Amino acid sequence: MRHTLQKHFSAIGAHLEVRPGPDNVDYRFDIVRDRRSEYFELRGSRLDELVVQHVDRHARHILLRGLNRQVTQENGTTKSTLSRFLCGHDERHWFVAGIADPVATVRDAKLSLAPAAIREAVARERHRDRRHNDVFIRQGEWFFVPAMPPVRTVILRNEPIRRGRGKPHFCEEVIRHGGVTVRLYQGRELGEAEFAELVAKNRRLPYRQMVRDAAVYARGRVRHDDHATIVLEGWHRIYLNGESFTEHVAFYD
């Protein structure tokens, strides 16, 4: 199994390291970066059940499928679920994305990553695999779709947007509507009780107040260390991609 997987990853120009994993983890992919190289690392307890569904050498992408351990449902029955992973190269670096939809090809897996709000339009788009087409401009996991804010309010400048603990993307101009005000400390959201406890110990606690799950619009330059800067001519609504295994991942700006 190990050598078969490594052969497929080598076909797209990637290196895969397979290592023993904890018993309570079925599969776990990581991207390891050091000064000289960047490669995939795979750990888990059910690696023999992980199979390659499709390889797109031209796009440098691989779609894999694995069977998760059985879970007990409310009615007492058990079921097994499938995990799908899209591994590939995007612009400058390798990436791994969890795929929720029952897809069989790399192209359909990439479509499933399009935000639900624009997926039908993306499916009709001739150049949907490009990072810039008639429907959206994409930078990493973020999709920017031309749209006017419903109401012009305060324009925020040099605003970060982030998914969970990932490195933020910085937008030159942002307008947001709705959402919930939260406090972030060391990359995680603080509840009221925990925030009060930490502030009692350190009145100068270096937290950041942000807004989660707002409708957000951006204009101008959007920059990120791992991606080429894009320029949004006019207002665009921001959407996070449809990656699975991110139920507890929030949209902060």
Q: pLDDT tens for residues 151-172?
A: 778 899 999 988 766 789 999 9
Q: Which of 222, 247, 76 is nearest to 138 (CA)?
A: 222
How many structural domains is the chain composed of?
2
Q: Is 152 a member of any domain? A: yes
Residue 45 has pLDDT above 90, yes or no: no
Question: Are 157 and 90 within one domain?
Answer: no
Residue 86's domain comprises 2-113
Structure pTM? 0.78
For residue 102, the one-letter residue type is P
pLDDT band at 76 (very low <50, low <70, confident <90, very high): low
Mean pLDDT across the chain: 87
176 vs 72: CA distance, rounded Å: 41
Collapse the DSSP code of 106 into the 3-class scheme (helix H, G, I; strand E, B; otherwise coil) and give the result.
helix
* Final residue before a domain boundary, out of 92, 113, 134: 113
* Final residue before a domain boundary, out of 98, 113, 128: 113
Q: Which of 53, 198, 183 is nearest to 112 (CA)?
A: 53
Q: Which residue has the tokens 């005000």?
A: 181
Once rounded to an integer, what is the mean pLDDT over residues 197-225?
89
Between 249 and 109, the higher pLDDT residue:
109
